[in-house]
A and B are shown apart, each in its own frame.
Chain A
Amino acid sequence: MPTVLILGASSDMAVAIAKKFASKGYAIQLAARQVHRLQPLQSDLTIRYQQSCDLYEFDALAFNTHAAFFDSLPIKPDIAICVFGYLGENETARANWQESEKIIHTNYTGAVSILNVISNYFAARKQGAIVGISSVAGERGRQSNYIYGSAKAGFTAYLSGLRNRLFREGVHVVSVQPGFVYTRMTENLALPALLTAKPEAVGETVYKAVVRKQNVVYVKWFWRWIMLIIKSIPEFMFKKLKL
């Protein structure tokens, strides 16, 4: 039975992704910092889909534990999905290095650290798939969230390089740019309904992208075009906008 490892399994997107893969017959490995929080999800997936589901403690910020974490998995996954992230508050982060550091380390450094380990393993085995949930915020820095955005930009570039490297090893890498999604992370933002996806849609998108070996996917298709437009605005104009 193929196995999926979900890193950062307590978010709404992670739950939706886990459900989708479990419904398609995958065994599920859930990894998060507070493992006890995942127990209800474990029973839920087991009962609903009759798939095995195991829990592992994983802290994206504890870089030096990442190799040991992966090493300790009794079954190595076929697919690894990196879902963890931290939006933080740009305004706080501007003045507070700790907040900035947390944003950067969660969205970029932590992801690089664990995916280095996993990608080397997959490359040696010459099979596997890696999915990274990045963000459209990484496509162009904006005044309202450039610290988060720049960390995601780094992650997006990392995924693209990884895809390029692993192509010859038979390992596929998917970059997911979700756009707005209704989750706890965005609960306090007023999101435009038309542009906002449900977490379940992210689950569908990720599953399809893995099966069809897509490279860069958006959850709602028009985000690709929105970002194309945003990226094409000349810098001398862009810097004057309030975004």
Chain B
Amino acid sequence: MKKSIANWGNYPVMESDEKLFSFDDQLQEIIRTSGHFIPRGNGRCYGDASLSTETINTLKYDKILSFDTVNGIFECQSGLVLDQVLEVIVPKGWFLPVTPGTKFITVGGAVGSDVHGKNHHVDGCFSNHVIEMDVVLANGQTTTCSPQQHTDLFEATCGGMGLTGLITRIKFRLKKIETSFIRQRQIKAANLEELIRLFEEYQHYTYSMAWIDCLKKGKDFGRSILIVGEHATVNELKEQHRNDPLALPRKKSISFPFNLPSWVLNTWSVKAFNFLYYAKNFKKEINNLVPYEPFFYPLDAILHWNRGYGKKGFVQYQFVLPLHAKEGLIDILNRISDKGLGSFLAVLKVFGKQESLISFPFEGFTLALDFPVRKDLFAFLDELDQVVLRYGGRLYMSKDARMRPEILEAGYPRLEEFKAIVKKYNPDAKIRSVQSDRLLLTK
């Protein structure tokens, strides 16, 4: 049955025949009888990567297959959502090796986008921790791949945006923790220069990221808060938490019940939001212990916050620039603040070294911003693309809903190799998305 679907940015929206499955034989039947399809997890990518007129949704294929609590090895079906993984592993003293800024993505989606977290400079992408996985190819055949086996399929599936096949089973390594708390440090930076210096100074921290107020001009340009953290040890906990150091955080969340009109997010409210966020940190530095949820998933506390951008939706723009291209960052932030199109979520992170075929990260700075959809937005983003390219950067496909194919090609030096592997395993482009067609990956 056709229904209207969209990913997290609510842009674009499209009619799609979305099929669910619980068992392998049902998946086989769906693939056999569909003209074409794209795998879809929890739709937390922002744009059109998991959109098509036919989608196969994994959310009902979500069973835990094994959990080695001694060695920290977890195996599950691809539709399992990270939030569920955490509920099982945290009480046993384990954590996700890499997690994005929301816990509402599937494990399949974590591999499909090869997600990164605040610890990229230490632990790399999600795929660095995958031991092996099963992929159902366009012809229905199931192939097991790993860094040792069918390596071409493995490499092209990690960050391959679902184009090589539908991942069904994933086995990955976890990270050992003593407590479910994070020892957090928040440091205020008056401007971009200072922030970049702080990133260097605190690079030994496992987790780090910064919020930037990207509308500030003049001497406050780039004022920001750097947030770094480590998993706390039992000794660091307050007395009252020590007898249950691995307790799961209590569930509480509120939800945006409907789409707000987009004027709510005009420049003024953005400024107000930034001010509030900033004022919270009245001291230069705050050190505290927090449960892992507010540290890793501050936005998850407001379910459906994406509706705050109104009916027309928004796009998220995330790029990475090499470490030496600091001026590029300044250039882009300047253009954004001049334009006043801004976003209350500007997140800056540093990526470590990464060798991969098609995954997004490479060593450098990555900035992510939200832009409500407006008429003049797309021309502006095209302009930003050129700046990103000029400074040797590239964009994240998982956030993308509008980039032109030339931009992808210029940013990803191994794109041809990736396309060749996609062609090998998906020869008739039976697996394709609106994005892959737009980016000429399946055309």
Of A35-43, A74-82, A141-149, the one contacting chain B is A35-43
* Alpha-carbon distance between A182 and B60 when the two chains are bound, in angstroms: 11
Contact B1 A184 (CB under 8 A): no
If A10-B22, A12-B22, A189-B1 touch, whether A184 touches B63 (CB-CB below 8 Å) is no
Nearest CB to that of A199 among chain B residues? Answer: B60
Contact B64 A48 (CB under 8 A): yes
Contact A37 B64 (CB under 8 A): no
Question: Quick one: CB contact mask for B2-20 with A, threshold 8 Å, 1 for yes?
Answer: 0000000000000000011
Residues of A within 8 A of B20 (CB): 184, 187
Q: Which of A22-61 contact B (CB under 8 A)?
A: 34, 37, 40-41, 43-44, 47-48
The interface of chain B, by Cβ under 8 A from chain A, is 1, 19-20, 22-23, 25, 60, 63-67, 77, 87-88
Q: How large is the interface on A (under 10, 10 to 19, 20 to 34, 35 or more residues)?
A: 10 to 19
A232 at the B interface (CB under 8 A): no
Nearest CB to that of B87 among chain A residues? Answer: A48
A206 CB to closest chain B CB (Å) equals: 19
Contact B23 A43 (CB under 8 A): no
The interface of chain A, by Cβ under 8 A from chain B, is 10, 12, 15, 34, 37, 40-41, 43-44, 47-48, 184, 187-190
B92 CB to closest chain A CB (Å) equals: 10
Contact A12 B60 (CB under 8 A): yes
B66 CB to closest chain A CB (Å) equals: 6
* Alpha-carbon distance between A120 and B398 when the two chains are bound, in angstroms: 58
**Residue of A15, A44, A47, A184 most packed against chain B (CB within 10 A):** A47
If A188-B1, A189-B1, A190-B1 touch, whether A44 touches B22 (CB-CB below 8 Å) is no
Nearest CB to that of B77 among chain A residues? Answer: A40
Contact A47 B1 (CB under 8 A): no
**Residue of A34, A37, A40, A43 most packed against chain B (CB within 10 A):** A40
If A187-B1, A190-B1 touch, whether A44 touches B25 (CB-CB below 8 Å) is no
Contact B1 A44 (CB under 8 A): no
* Alpha-carbon distance between A103 and B19 when the two chains are bound, in angstroms: 24
Q: 8 tightest CB-CB pairs across the interface, nearest first?
A: A40-B63, A44-B63, A44-B64, A37-B23, A188-B1, A47-B64, A47-B67, A43-B65
